[in-house]
Structure 1
Amino acid sequence: MKKKILITLSIILILCVGGFGFYVNDYYHAQGDALEILNHQEVKQVNSNLITLTGIL
């Protein structure tokens, strides 16, 4: 009985770890336009979470 429970929990754990790995690796990549704008000379990065665009358009 304990062996069945251990095997079942092991399978569930493996499936959860595999699902989490798939979820983490499936993300949106930056488009070419966004990368081009970020490489523009008029971009001022204020801090790591905020980027200010000035005079591009």
Structure 2
Amino acid sequence: MAEGAAVLVSVLLFGVGAPLVLYWLVRAERADREVMDREAAERTARRDLPDDERDRR
């Protein structure tokens, strides 16, 4: 009986704890967001293009 209760408590703690940890991780990632204007955002989004292609757009 005690083993079953321990398993139940473990499952409940994991079921509540895991979403809270994920929520905390997402909030921490959002706090580190860099604010930039539209031109800087477009430059950052096109970082993977070679310089000659970037100038043509």
Q: TM-score, normalised by structure 1?
A: 0.48
Structure with the bigger percentage of strand: 1
Q: TM-score, normalised by structure 2?
A: 0.48
Higher relative CO (Cα under 8 Å, sequence separation at least 6) belongs to 1
Structure with the bigger percentage of helix: 2
